[in-house]
């Protein structure tokens, strides 16, 4: 029987929510057109929004409710997400195409108490902390800053704090307990 450690259900549920977000909302930025400040023929620049409702109307994935939520969020606190500059698009590809499979592994690892998860978990957490540092820097002083920092920080903050908590949870060499000795 599987017996998770106290509090590990929080990790499982967080990874489940991250998985859903990765394959829906984060997918939009990964496959959407890149935008940003693009040159005109006369040498001036124009702001091109990469992801718009018109550009996504024929998409079959994700479901419309997620597209609506994406555009609502961009209007509320994260205009850079819709602009989707190339660097953000590249960073965004990590979530649905690299992190999503990792989330499945993480969920299984916590349920199965897999000590082999320790190093991949620490690597993922470190990557996410770096990603969020870059995203927060852009939101505060980049080319496409947020106009609603408290809401932005409340929504993205857990993506910054959770990896730190995970690193703490995985601090022991055998975070799920020492392996049982095999008997012959």
Distance (Å, rounded) from C-alpha 29 to C-alpha 41? 27
92-131 residue pLDDT tens: 999 999 999 999 999 999 999 999 999 999 999 999 999 9
φ/ψ of 57, rounded to 5, equals: -60, -25
110-119 residue pLDDT tens: 999 999 999 9
The answer, yes or no, to whether residue 68 has pLDDT greater than 60, is yes
In the numeric block, which tokens belong to residue 59?
A: 């998409």
In the numeric block, which tokens belong to residue 100?
A: 């999503």
DSSP state of 98: I
Look up the pTM and report it.
0.90
The count of C-alpha atoms lying within 13 angstroms of the C-alpha of 140, restricted to the half-sphere facing its C-beta, is: 9
- Mean local confidence (pLDDT), 37-51: 89
Distance (Å, rounded) from C-alpha 42 to C-alpha 74? 30
Report which of 70, 76, 91, 96 is spatially closest to residue 133, judged by C-alpha positions: 91
The answer, yes or no, to whether residue 1 has pLDDT greater than 60, is no
Mean pLDDT for the chain overall: 94
Residue 183: per-residue pLDDT = 67
Q: Which residues pair with 35 in a beta bridge?
A: 85
What is 123-146 written as a DSSP string? Answer: HHHHHHHHHHHHHHHHHHHSSS--
Distance (Å, rounded) from C-alpha 149 to C-alpha 136? 9
Distance (Å, rounded) from C-alpha 75 to C-alpha 9? 33
Whether residue 175 has a cis bond before it, omega within 30° of 0:
no
């Amino acid at each position: 029987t599987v017996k998770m450690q106290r509090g590990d259900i929080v990790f499982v549920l967080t990874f489940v929510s991250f998985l859903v977000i990765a394959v829906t909302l984060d997918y939009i930025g990964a496959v959407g057109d890149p935008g940003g400040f693009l040159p005109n023929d006369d040498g001036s620049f124009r702001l091109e929004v990469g992801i718009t409702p018109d550009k996504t109307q024929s998409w079959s994935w994700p479901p419309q409710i997620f597209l609506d939520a994406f555009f609502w969020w961009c209007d509320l606190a994260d205009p850079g997400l819709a602009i989707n500059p190339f660097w953000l698009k590249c960073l965004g590809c990590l979530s649905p195409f690299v992190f999503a499979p990792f989330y499945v592994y993480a969920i299984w690892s916590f349920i199965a108490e897999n000590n082999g998860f320790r190093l991949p978990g620490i690597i993922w957490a470190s990557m996410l902390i770096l990603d969020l540092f870059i995203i927060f820097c852009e939101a505060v002083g980049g080319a496409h800053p947020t106009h609603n920092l408290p809401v932005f920080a409340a929504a993205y903050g857990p993506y910054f704090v959770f990896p730190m908590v995970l690193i703490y949870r995985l601090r022991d060499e055998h975070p799920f307990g020492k392996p049982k000795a095999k008997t012959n």
